[in-house]
Amino acid sequence: MRAWVFEGGFGYEHLRLRLREGDMPRPGPRDVLLAMRAAALNYRDLVVLRGQHGRRVTPPLIPLSDGVGVVVEAGAEVTDLKPGDRVCPSFFQHWDGGAPPADLEEGRLGGPLDGVLATHRVFPASGVTRAPDHLADAEAATLPCAGLTAWSALDAAPPVRPGETVLILGTGGVALMGVMLAKSAGARVIVTTSSPDRAARVQALGADLVIDRSATPDWSAAVRAATEGAGVDRVLELGGEKTLPDAIRATRVGGQIILIGNVTGNRPEIFLPAVLTRQLTLRSVTVGSRQGFAAMARAIAQHRLRPVVGRTVPFEHAPEAFRALEAQATFGNICITMDGA
């Protein structure tokens, strides 16, 4: 077994490839042993790399939460999985469905639990779900966090309906999956992005309107103009501090803003009357449950959706994937492949 591990601290200088000869993990009676095939990076993985994820996340730690693997061995009490089945480990290993558990943060892969950046990993059979058959390994690897977060944001009560208008901020992994899922649900989709090149690419994915923030700084006014002054039904808010005030202005009376990310900061200034007098709903989603993943996987299979993979990096060169994510120059998900690792 080989694994990338943060040892003695975080940062590139502490991310080391470890070879554990003769140390192949073995599954318990209710576990499965996976040969990992691919892993995908999220913005959260940079937060972990920088040692900024709080006191619960400590080294030694195998990073990354998103991945896909093939069952090599199933425990004696596992009846619904067999060798050869391809599955994705759940981001939250202990959230099967319904309301999230009180100790939700304790069950996250990639911190505080060891993640998927290894050639082999053991998981409870209850903590994995079959991946859609039509997806390549790298595509399937993007689903546990990025894919499910987009699904949860669109499935939040009430679920998105045909004819609604959805505003998606940015063109990261969650946003791109959100575009495809929202379009498959029959919604009109407006996306904001940061360059003409990205605007053209997301338009090709099916977005109905793409607003280039570099050319249109007052993008909330452009959104309202595109909705005849009414505003959108739902916003997938991925920015945080610098984008939330404009997201509020772009939302219709009675609409909802789904808080997902905070890449621009944590302390937005909100004009409360804009929320209170228009009966807006602000709510958050944090990835989702195993049952939510299964529902998303069925929808992806039915509509033959394919997550956007912008770059793949071999397992031996995994730190390059972190650097590529930091550079923010890749359109689509950045994945690490374990073929031959």
Looking at residue 20, its pLDDT comes to 63
The whole-angstrom distance between residue 274's C-alpha and the CA centroid of its chain comes to 30
User: Distance between CA 18 and CA 66 in Å, rounded?
Assistant: 20
Verify that 77 and 162 share a domain, yes or no: no
Looking at residue 289, its pLDDT comes to 97
pLDDT > 80? residue 21: no
Query: Within a domain: residue 106?
Result: yes
Verify that 197 and 174 share a domain, yes or no: yes
pLDDT > 80? residue 248: yes
For residue 146, give the nearest of 39, 304, 12 by alpha carbon.
Answer: 39
Verify that 210 and 108 share a domain, yes or no: no
pLDDT > 70? residue 54: yes
Residue range 100-113: average pLDDT?
95
Verify that 233 and 212 share a domain, yes or no: yes
Query: Within a domain: residue 236?
Result: yes
Query: Within a domain: residue 152?
Result: no
Verify that 15 and 74 share a domain, yes or no: yes
Which range (44-53, 266-275, 291-300, 304-313) has the least confidence? 266-275
Query: Within a domain: residue 242?
Result: yes
Residues contacting residue 43 through CB under 8 Å, at least 6 positions apart: 172, 261, 263, 325
The CATH number for 327's domain is 3.90.180.10
Verify that 176 and 114 share a domain, yes or no: no
Average pLDDT, the chain: 95
pTM of the model: 0.93
Query: Within a domain: residue 151?
Result: no
Verify that 128 and 170 share a domain, yes or no: no
Query: Within a domain: residue 211?
Result: yes
Verify that 245 and 319 share a domain, yes or no: no
Looking at residue 340, its pLDDT comes to 59
* Digit-coded pLDDT (tens) for 284-302: 999 999 999 999 999 999 9
Residue 42: both structure tokens together: 């999220």
Looking at residue 261, its pLDDT comes to 86
Q: Give the residue numbers spanning the domain of 276.
A: 157-284
Verify that 305 and 209 share a domain, yes or no: no
Query: Within a domain: residue 297?
Result: yes
* Digit-coded pLDDT (tens) for 39-53: 999 999 999 999 988
Determine the Cα angle at 69 with ends 80 and 90, to 5°.
70
Residue range 238-247: average pLDDT?
92
Verify that 248 and 115 share a domain, yes or no: no
- Count structural domains, the chain: 2
Query: Within a domain: residue 171?
Result: yes
Verify that 33 and 97 share a domain, yes or no: yes
The CATH number for 164's domain is 3.40.50.720
Verify that 276 and 329 share a domain, yes or no: no
